[in-house]
């Protein structure tokens, strides 16, 4: 069973490696030291099993699972962490097991056996639950060619659906992201982002100028290098007036 160990602490990864030596069905194909590297390793190595820490730099373990594109077959997940307060959330994400550090050999063996017995159909059901769990987006995984970049929400000027792909626009670059626009709207700070129209989500702090537009709409001039213009639909203009007093 192709396996990745994701933990920012080398002693924890080393202990898991030693314990997994007793399980010949486990083949460790990679290790990761932070959330973003874990996403990259999952996409590149396509493991069947993932030992995942929860508190890691960049992305938490839960955010890692939420950042994998739907086209990638996710592995079974066994959380291994030193924080037992995350156990409820782990089981809500339908993880196979939740192991407290230092990991005990007996509990590890039980978790590995459960992964071995579950079929592919059961794995997909488990992972769909994880993908659909409520999300608060502290960081956005942005993609451009072979780059994966972590960005805080305030760094992104606006999101826009273009040719069926959600693009994240910053001051000078454009990335694509693996989040539906509705999911971004639900997970990002409500006081910061505004749905200008059906396919555009705007960062209110990145608007340079607001102009009247036709009947009762607005034209947003963004503070990016090109002064991009975004039309606010007449329907959404009423919401914008409520969001920005004096408009």
Is 2-132's fold the same as 140-243's?
no
Radius of gyration of the chain (CA): 21
Query: For the domain bounded by 140-243, which CATH number is listed?
Result: 2.40.50.1020
When the pLDDT of each residue in the chain is averaged and rounded to a whole number, the result is: 88
For residue 29, pLDDT beyond 70:
yes
**Most confident of the following: 12-16, 143-147, 176-180:** 12-16
Domain 2-132 has CATH 3.30.360.10: no
Q: Kindly tell me the burial class for residue 84, based on how many C-beta atoms sit within 10 Å of its own C-beta (0-12, 13-18, 19 or more).
A: exposed
Pick the range with the lowest mean pLDDT from 121-125, 165-169, 214-218. 121-125
DSSP string across 11-42: HHHHHHHHHHTT-TT-EEEEEESSHHHHHHHH
- Extents of the domains making up the chain: 2-132, 140-243
Q: Is the pTM of this model over 0.85?
A: no
Residue pair 75/102 in contact (Cβ under 8 Å)? The answer is no
Please write the tens of the pLDDT for every residue from 84-140: 666 555 555 556 788 888 999 999 999 999 888 875 555 566 556 555 555 678 889
> Beta strands 200-203 and 158-162: pairing type?
antiparallel
- Residue for token pair 């396996």: 3
Strands (E), 56-146: 76-81, 97-100, 140-144
Please write the tens of the pLDDT for every residue from 140-156: 999 998 889 999 999 99
Nearest residue to 61 (alpha-carbon basis) of 99, 34, 87: 34
């Amino acid at each position: 069973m192709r396996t990745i160990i994701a933990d920012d602490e080398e002693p924890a990864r080393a202990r898991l490696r030693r314990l997994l030596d007793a399980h010949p069905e486990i083949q460790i194909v990679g290790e990761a030291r932070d959330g973003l590297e874990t996403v990259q390793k999952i996409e590149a190595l396509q493991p069947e099993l993932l030992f995942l820490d929860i508190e890691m730099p960049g992305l938490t373990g839960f955010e890692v699972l939420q950042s994998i594109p739907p086209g990638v077959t996710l592995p079974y997940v066994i959380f291994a962490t030193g924080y037992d307060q995350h156990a409820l959330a782990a089981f809500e994400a339908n993880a196979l097991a939740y192991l407290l550090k230092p990991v005990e050999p007996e509990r590890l063996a039980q978790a590995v056996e459960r992964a071995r017995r579950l079929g592919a159909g059961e794995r997909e059901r488990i992972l769909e639950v994880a993908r659909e769990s409520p999300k608060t987006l502290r960081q956005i995984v942005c993609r451009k060619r072979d780059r994966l970049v972590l960005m805080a929400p305030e760094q992104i000027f606006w999101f826009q659906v273009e040719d069926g792909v959600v693009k994240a626009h910053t001051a000078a670059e454009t990335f694509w992201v693996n989040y539906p626009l509705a999911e971004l709207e639900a997970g990002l700070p409500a006081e910061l982002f505004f749905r200008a129209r059906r396919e555009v989500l705007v960062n209110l702090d990145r608007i340079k100028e607001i102009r009247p537009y036709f009947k009762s709409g607005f034209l947003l001039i963004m503070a990016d290098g090109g002064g991009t213009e975004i039309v606010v639909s007449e329907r959404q203009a009423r919401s914008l007036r409520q969001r920005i007093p004096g408009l």
